[in-house]
Amino acid sequence: MVEGRQVFDLLWLVPAIPLFGAIFNCLLGARAGNLIVSIVGCGSIGLAFALSVCIFRAFLDLPPEDRMIEFCVFQWIAAGNFLAPIDLLLDPLSMAMITMVSGVSFLIHVYSVGYMEKDKCFARYFFYLNLFVFFMLTLVLAGNFLVLYIGWEGVGLCSYLLISFWYEKRTAAAAGLKAFVVTRFGDFFFALGIMLVFVQFGTIHFHSVFEDPAKVIDSRMAMWIALLIFAGAVGKSAQIPLHTWLPDAMEAPTPVSALIHAATMVTAGVYLVARCYPIFELSPVSLQIVGITGLLTAFISATVALVHTDIKRILAYSTVSQLGHMFLALGVGAPAAAVFHLLTHAFAKALLFLGSGAVIHALHDEMDIRNMGGLRQYIPATFYTFTIGALAMSGIPGLAGFFSKDAILHATFVNGGFLMWALIVITASMTGFYTFRIIFMAFFGEKRWDVHIHHPGTVMVIPLVLLALLAAVGGYMGVPHVLGGGDRISNFLAPNFGNPEVHATAEPSNKGVALAAEDETAVVESEEAAESEKVLEGVTAETLAEGEGHAPAGSPEMLLMLVSAVMAFSGVGLAYFFYVTPEGREVPAMLSDKFGAVYNILTNAWYFDKVYKAVFIDTYMLMSEFFWKAVDTAVIDHAVRGVAGSLLGGGSIISSLQLGLVRWYATVMVLGAIIIILYI
């Protein structure tokens, strides 16, 4: 046990080692040469990963109720009663996150060595990437809101820097700015949320805030705090209406898209909401908003992914859609499922991005899937790993994505109602369709390109294989009880979110009753909630009764699972029909002709960008221009110049008396003296 404790004392090193790597690459990278840069870059992340694995092992040895370890590194900001030390907090949630983040980062760093080897700015790239990992680990290890905010802004900065990495491209510069500003808009609300927490609780320390928030705030205040925090998450995790930056962010080098814009940074929003879940639980309204936002995002971005032809943009919209799934899970009271999906999605999506990176690399920066095809024979390793990722992503039974997505679908059905469930199942089938559309268009059919293939080197293939392994088996950490699994991930996260089985139904109603005692208006709501839960309980009674045991086949949960699996297969099948079979070939073009209006909406991504430009950017620029020309220059400056001018004018009249002649002055003086004497 003592040994374990010592491991925990090294916790601060987990973010610190990547920081040292970043500092080294920043200061000396340009002179050190690519080999040393890549050793330092990958090595520091590898060390951090090894350390977090050690900590994980020691952590598992602890009894579940002790799995909450806090460190104060040093006092950071202290002003009056506003205290913000650098706190680190290790609990199951952050433990899972740091292991995932450092592990996936390590693989992507290794891959980057191969992907970026020809780039002139190799050292700069690894500097940014290491810095990103530092901020991301700070984010997930934070023990109070402000430390989380450090990481939050820091990853945003690194995302900006990496999107604009090839700075000579106009689109890259624009995309970087857009990403930073749009997420910053979310950060604005998040910052307000932190302040509101501080004003209400008198502290921003996680442990003190989340211990029993119901004592301090009522559900109305909880709603405000929850919504402000959620707005921050919406920006960072690219949810509607702040999702527009993520597709553009694909200007970044592909490993960056894999790391930042798929596996880690964009999931920070999900992490944030999961972290603040005690506050969200106090306010059913805010949870509903989270769920509906997630659902809409999942659906809308999946529809856009159906028609895009840029391989990275399809994956980007798919990421947005999957993040929507996670928020839906949070909204329907299944935070453990959200985190589970976050992890499996990280593996699968990182794999898909790295695979697409290999494809792009092979075809000399070609990103349009219409110009690919037949790559199966040329880069087989990429093909197989990519397919595993796609299968996992689409929720094909047996692979990681299936289990996590199923947990979400189940929770949605239980707590969200049939309509939400139906919509999300349709989205699930679209996922299958667009992912396999990439596979069928890129890897099958005739070749539509004529360049010399770049074969991915070993350093690029190994991470692909490892990630494929994770994507394949990662789901087994959360096999639900009905399939005979132990649902280990939920149990592991139980200290954060409470007991998984009870949580879904009983917990909210208890909370509702507790609130009803305090709040008159909440009575109606909670009664309604209880009412609807009774109905649902009828449906799930069987499952609950079988909670710990093995459910017989044909139980509702099994049925749901079957439906979602069928939907996923149907999506894949449809893609096969459209893009492989000769009969289906004509159908996509026919459809797009027939439903031209719909097709236009989808290719323009529902016109979000155009509307935003007209409503926000143009208005803002016009207003600024107006203030400058009309107010600053015309009104204020003219007033000042008017004062100055009148003084000058008056002065010039009087100054005409000044001839510059000494004797004239003397005469005037004498005359003056005479007048004074006479007057006396």
Restricting to residues 83-102, which ones interact with other proteins according to CB under 8 A?
83
Smallest separation (angstroms) from other proteins to the CB of 585: 41
Site for other proteins contains 640 (CB under 8 A): yes
Nearer to other proteins, 184 or 448 (CB): 184
Among positions 551-590, residues that touch other proteins (CB under 8 A) are none
Q: With b meaning 16 or more CB within 10 Å and e meaning fewer, what string describes 471-497?
A: bbebbebbbbbbeebebebbbbbbebb
Nearer to other proteins, 82 or 418 (CB): 82
Site for other proteins contains 645 (CB under 8 A): no
Site for other proteins contains 634 (CB under 8 A): no
- For residue 330, which of 274, 279, 266 has the smallest C-alpha distance? 274
| Cα–Cα distance measured from residue 154 to residue 125, given in angstroms and rounded to the nearest whole number | 16
Site for other proteins contains 663 (CB under 8 A): yes
Site for other proteins contains 636 (CB under 8 A): yes
* Angle at which helices 219-236 and 284-307 cross, to 10°: 20
Site for other proteins contains 7 (CB under 8 A): no
Question: Site map for other proteins, 23-62, x if CB under 8 A?
Answer: ----------------------------------------
One DSSP character per residue, 410-477 reads HHIIIII-HHHHHHHHHHHHHHHHHHHHHHHHHHSSS----S------HHHHHHHHHHHHHHHHGGGG
Among positions 143-162, residues that touch other proteins (CB under 8 A) are 146, 149-150, 153-154, 157, 160-161
Judged by DSSP in three states, 102 sits in: helix
> Residues 174, 513, 539, 563: which binds other proteins (CB under 8 A)?
174
Site for other proteins contains 21 (CB under 8 A): no
Smallest separation (angstroms) from other proteins to the CB of 310: 22
Q: Helix and strand tally (H, E) in the chain?
A: 31, 2
Site for other proteins contains 1 (CB under 8 A): no
Site for other proteins contains 660 (CB under 8 A): yes
Smallest separation (angstroms) from other proteins to the CB of 623: 7
Q: Which two tokens stand for residue 70?
A: 């806090």
* Angle at which helices 284-307 and 418-443 cross, to 10°: 30
Nearer to other proteins, 157 or 292 (CB): 157
> Residues 54, 184, 376, 569: which binds other proteins (CB under 8 A)?
184
Among positions 57-76, residues that touch other proteins (CB under 8 A) are 68, 70, 72, 74-76
> Residues 118, 170, 215, 594: which binds other proteins (CB under 8 A)?
170
Smallest separation (angstroms) from other proteins to the CB of 317: 25
Nearer to other proteins, 600 or 619 (CB): 619
Smallest separation (angstroms) from other proteins to the CB of 626: 9
Smallest separation (angstroms) from other proteins to the CB of 226: 16
Site for other proteins contains 646 (CB under 8 A): no
Instruction: Let me know: does 184 contact 308? Beta carbons within 8 Å.
Output: no
- For residue 151, which of 140, 137, 162, 135 has the smallest C-alpha distance? 135
Site for other proteins contains 123 (CB under 8 A): no
Nearer to other proteins, 56 or 185 (CB): 185
Among positions 228-247, residues that touch other proteins (CB under 8 A) are none
Nearer to other proteins, 89 or 339 (CB): 89
Nearer to other proteins, 9 or 365 (CB): 9
One DSSP character per residue, 332-392 reads TT-HHHHHHHHHHHHHHHHHHHHHHHHHHHHTTS--BGGG---TTTTSHHHHHHHHHHHHH
Among positions 197-226, residues that touch other proteins (CB under 8 A) are 198-199, 202-203, 205, 207-208
| Cα–Cα distance measured from residue 146 to residue 88, given in angstroms and rounded to the nearest whole number | 11
Smallest separation (angstroms) from other proteins to the CB of 327: 23
Site for other proteins contains 187 (CB under 8 A): yes
> Residues 35, 60, 77, 566: which binds other proteins (CB under 8 A)?
77
Q: Are strands 82-90 and 69-79 parallel, antiparallel or unpaired?
A: antiparallel
Which of these segments, 49-57, 329-337, 543-551, 632-640, binds other proteins (CB under 8 A)? 632-640
Query: Residue 195 contacts by C-beta under 8 Å, 6 or more apart in sequence?
Result: none
> Residues 590, 615, 623, 675: which binds other proteins (CB under 8 A)?
623
Smallest separation (angstroms) from other proteins to the CB of 99: 22
Judged by DSSP in three states, 83 sits in: strand
Instruction: Let me know: does 187 contact 153? Beta carbons within 8 Å.
Output: yes
Instruction: Let me know: does 133 contact 69? Beta carbons within 8 Å.
Output: no
- For residue 291, which of 266, 325, 340, 321 has the smallest C-alpha distance? 325
Site for other proteins contains 185 (CB under 8 A): yes
With CB under 8 A, what is the number of residues at the site for other proteins? 72
Which of these segments, 165-173, 332-340, 392-400, 415-423, binds other proteins (CB under 8 A)? 165-173
Which of these segments, 192-200, 336-344, 473-481, 485-493, binds other proteins (CB under 8 A)? 192-200
Give bridge partners of residue 368 from the DSSP assignment. 310
Instruction: Let me know: does 481 contact 548? Beta carbons within 8 Å.
Output: yes
Judged by DSSP in three states, 395 sits in: coil
Cα angle 207, 211, 214; round to 5: 135
Site for other proteins contains 82 (CB under 8 A): yes
**Burial class of residue 514 (count of CB atoms within 10 Å of its CB; 0-12, 13-18, 19+):** middle
Q: Which two tokens stand for residue 345?
A: 């999605």
Instruction: Let me know: does 393 contact 401? Beta carbons within 8 Å.
Output: yes
Smallest separation (angstroms) from other proteins to the CB of 10: 16
Nearer to other proteins, 569 or 612 (CB): 612
Smallest separation (angstroms) from other proteins to the CB of 176: 8
| Cα–Cα distance measured from residue 644 to residue 649, given in angstroms and rounded to the nearest whole number | 9
